[in-house]
Amino acid sequence: MNPERYEQLKQKAKEAKSRAFQRKVANDKERIENSLFWAIKRVKEEARADTWCTIHENCFRCSLEPAESDDHINKKFERFIHWRKFGAAVFVEVRWKNGSRSDLVICLNNGEIFIEEIAVSEKEENLLLKEEKYPFPIKVFRVKS
């Protein structure tokens, strides 16, 4: 075999190996980014660092002060239990870097993250403002009192 041909084959093999490695890295990255671990990591990155240590995965929290009505607390707990039954990681009362606070943050096993807001007497304008403030998509559940 002539030396030029040998070098060409060697270069092609090297390029094929490099492409295979890049595909593996891309596949691994996609698998990780579509996981519950990755979703929780993203929530942590968006949450206020000074409050993250008090937020526990799958731990229900509510305020017994006049700020939350019984209807609000009950619906929030119902939605919390609903998502836990499906194996989702749920965070309650997450405080975000911009100062806002959401009722429930749901992290699914496929890496999807969304927020559920429980609305008892909130006006539509307030809910629209929350959509702009929150770092993840929001779903609203209205409670009829």
What are the 10-residue block averages of pLDDT along the chain, 145 residues in total?
85 89 82 81 91 76 76 91 93 91 92 92 78 90 78
Give the pLDDT of residue 116: 95
DSSP string, 30-59: HHHHTSHHHHHHHHHHHB-HHHHTT--TT-
Give the pLDDT of residue 145: 59
For helices 3-33 and 36-46, the axis angle rounded to 10 degrees is: 70
* Structural domains of the chain in order of their starting residue, each with its CATH number: 34-142 (3.40.1350)
Q: What is the pTM of this model?
A: 0.74
